[in-house]
């Protein structure tokens, strides 16, 4: 905003630092503008992580969502260029209670507030995020909007709550949203095997094609650390393009939107399963596997978002503390084996391999007659925890086993 523009406005409007949060059910909260000034609308969700706000902001799975941080103090460690999970901030808006007045960390390169301004992310601070979270837990996620700066004014007067709420009500719903193509890379790229913490790169053990539905940068990194060459391809990749890369395994990433709308991705995965190429999926990739097998998906009341969610691995009976970011889940039988419903059961038997202990949500699927498995959470877990990192090793074991099986059948 230029000085001339500021002087052209009424003094009250020019000096107004107010921000207003409006939910579609009519609830409002008034605080201070944080980050960019303006208007933003989207599905409003809450994240329970105590750390990792930079990774949260840059997670493509938050596309078209306004994120409420339940931890009260945000911005303490500033922002750096090493921790982002993608090339930009993806959240539609940001809600915090008590932003740091200054960043205090040796790795900090700039303040969070400045970064939000630079990337045009509208936020609000100084509101009761605990009360807001309780409201969302009781009534479920809903659309919301943040309004500040000139967006709060019209014809020299403050806009009414009714006007702001009408803008929120006009925003698209998350149910039915097909968003992967909006966050996916447009050009394929390759991540070669890489050493951990500056160490020597491991020997090449295999090749994986990762379909980018909103992939976080740490995911191919975790695969590369284990000696895998990772070809990351757009969500629009065809089965012929994937097969041409001669993969030992195929990976489907996390991503935003409603899995019920992901028809192209489901059909692509069925092509992978039909060729018996070992498959591993996380988050959205778990939901896509569920749909490819013929199970349904549904929208959770308020979702799982944070880095402190307990999940049981039913194979080992161990409980893991895990990182989550999902608002949809797979509807599959929790107990015992079931036959995948698709096409008369041609994909064979399936078990729910992992289950969330807070609400018994399906957190993983394992095919017993196909080389395929998936989990709903994030084993790459930048910002932690790392309890589930073994899943990348399990993927390598699956690929190795499939090679041995194919080799034995050819002899």
Catalytic residue set: 283, 378, 380
Query: DSSP of 120-162, one letter per residue?
Result: T-EEEESS-HHHHHHHHHHH--EEEEEEEGGGGEETTEEPPHH
Q: Quick check: helix, strand or coil at residue 251?
A: strand
Bridge pairing between strands 249-252 and 279-282: parallel
| Angle value at C-alpha 183, between 277 and 171, nearest 5 degrees | 130
Alpha-carbon distance 344 to 22, whole Å?
47
Do the annotations mark residue 327 as ligand-binding? yes
Does the annotation flag 255 for ligand binding? yes
The answer to whether 80 is annotated as binding is no
In sequence order, what are the residues at sequence separation of 6 or more whose Cβ sits closer than 8 angstroms to the Cβ of residue 2?
none
In degrees, rounded to 5, the angle at the alpha carbon of residue 283 between the alpha carbons of residues 282 and 286 is: 70
Question: ∠ CA 372-182-226 to the nearest 5 degrees?
Answer: 40
Cα atoms found within 13 Å of the Cα of residue 201, Cβ hemisphere only: 13
DSSP assignment letter at 391: H
Q: How far is residue 190's CA from residue 327's CA, in Å, rounded to a whole number?
A: 30
Tell me: is residue 120 an annotated ligand-binding position. Answer: no
* Integer Cα distance of 36 and 118 in angstroms: 8
Residues with Cβ within 8 Å of residue 384, at least 6 apart in sequence: 51, 52, 307, 323
| Contact assessment for residue 142 and residue 172, using Cβ atoms and an 8 Å cutoff | no
Strands 98-99 and 73-74: parallel
Instruction: Tell me whether residue 126 is exposed, middle or buried, using C-beta atoms within 10 angstroms of its C-beta: 0 to 12, 13 to 18, 19 or more.
Output: middle
373 is in an annotated binding site: no
Ligand-binding site membership of 76 (annotated)? no
DSSP per residue over 322-349, as a string? EEEEEEEEEE--SSS-EE--GGGGTT-E
Find out whether 254 is annotated in a ligand binding site.
no
| Alpha carbon distance 49, 73 (integer Å) | 11
Is 306 marked as binding a ligand?
A: no
Annotated binding site: 61, 255, 257, 284, 287, 325, 327-328
Annotated binding site for L-glutamine: 61, 255, 257, 284, 287, 325, 327-328
């Amino acid at each position: 905003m230029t000085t001339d523009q500021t002087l052209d406005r009424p003094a009250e409007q020019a000096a107004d630092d107010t921000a207003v949060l409006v939910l579609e059910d009519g609830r409002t909260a008034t605080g201070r503008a944080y980050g960019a000034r303006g208007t933003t609308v989207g599905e409003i969700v809450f994240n329970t992580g105590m750390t990792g706000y930079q990774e949260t902001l840059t997670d493509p799975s938050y596309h078209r969502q306004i994120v409420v941080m339940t931890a009260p103090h945000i911005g303490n460690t500033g922002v750096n260029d090493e921790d982002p999970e993608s090339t930009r901030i993806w959240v539609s808006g940001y809600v915090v209670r008590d932003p740091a007045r200054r960043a205090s960390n040796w790795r900090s390169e700039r303040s969070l507030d400045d970064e939000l301004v630079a990337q045009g992310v509208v936020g609000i601070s100084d509101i009761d995020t605990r009360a807001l979270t309780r409201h969302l837990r009781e009534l479920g996620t809903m659309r919301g909007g943040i309004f500040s700066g000139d967006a709060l004014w019209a014809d020299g007067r403050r806009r009414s709550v009714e006007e702001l709420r009408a803008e929120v009500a006009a925003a698209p719903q998350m149910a039915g949203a097909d968003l992967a193509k909006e966050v996916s890379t447009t050009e394929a790229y390759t991540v070669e095997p890489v050493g951990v913490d500056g160490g020597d790169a491991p020997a090449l053990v295999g090749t994986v094609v990762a379909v980018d539905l909103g992939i976080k940068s740490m995911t191919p990194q975790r695969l590369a650390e284990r000696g895998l060459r990772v070809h990351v391809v757009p969500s629009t990749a065809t089965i012929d393009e994937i097969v041409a890369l001669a993969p030992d395994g195929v990976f489907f990433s996390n991503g935003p939107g409603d899995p019920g709308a992901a028809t192209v991705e489901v059909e692509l995965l069925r092509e992978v399963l039909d060729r018996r190429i070992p498959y591993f999926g996380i988050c959205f990739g778990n939901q896509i596997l569920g749909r490819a097998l013929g199970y349904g998906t549904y929208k959770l009341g308020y979702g799982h978002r944070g880095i402190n969610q307990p999940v049981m691995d039913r194979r080992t009976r161990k409980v893991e503390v895990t990182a989550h970011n999902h608002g949809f889940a797979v509807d599959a039988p929790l107990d015992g084996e079931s036959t995948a419903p698709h096409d008369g059961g041609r994909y064979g038997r399936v078990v729910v391999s992992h289950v969330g202990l807070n609400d018994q949500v399906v957190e993983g699927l394992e095919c017993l007659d196909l080389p395929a498995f998936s989990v709903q959470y994030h084993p790459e877990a930048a910002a932690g925890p790392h309890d589930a990192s073994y899943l990348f090793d399990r993927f390598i074991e699956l690929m190795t086993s499939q090679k041995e099986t194919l080799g034995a059948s050819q002899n």
